[in-house]
Structures are given as structure tokens and as C-alpha cells.
Amino acid sequence: MDKYYSYTDFLKAMSDTGTENTSAALLQEIYLDMFLDHIHREQLIERLEKRIDEALDLGDQEKFMLYTGQLKELHKND
């Protein structure tokens, strides 16, 4: 996630009287950010896998190594 959401910030939003909408909005923003990050990651994986296949078809070892390295790095951050 690009944004940092602390548990403390969420509790502050929850504890403010009359600001139930604030805490709900914060929670919704967190979920939306997580969803968008997930979609972006899936698209990046698909793009890298396609480039790896193309590099294999062309016999381009340099690009194959580059793209597989990027894919490994992406999976390492799981």
C-alpha cells in the first residue's frame, strides 16, 4: 500500500463522537487502497509472465533473466 494507516489513527476516528462516518470513510479508503494494490500487482504479474513467454519464444536470454528476476522479486515481497 502506498499509504500508511495506523491502528492508532483508526481508533482515533472510531472514538470521535458523532464521526461514525469518519471511521467508516477511513475503513473504506483502506479497503479501496488494498483492492487497487492487489489489482495492480496482478496486472504486473500477468505483464511479466507475458514478457517472459515472449523472451523464451525469441530466445532472448538477457530479457528472460531480467523479467524472471523482476517476477522473483515481486513474489519475494509476498
Q: What is the pLDDT along the chain (78 residues), one digit of tens a residue?
A: 456 667 677 666 666 655 667 777 888 888 999 999 999 999 999 999 999 999 999 999 999 999 999 999 999 977
pLDDT at 27: 83
C-alpha cell at 51: 514478457
pLDDT at 68: 98
Q: Which residues contact 54 (CB under 8 A, 6 or more apart)?
A: 63
Between the alpha carbon of residue 46 and those of residues 3, 28, 69, the distances in Å are: 24, 27, 14
pLDDT at 29: 87
pLDDT at 30: 87
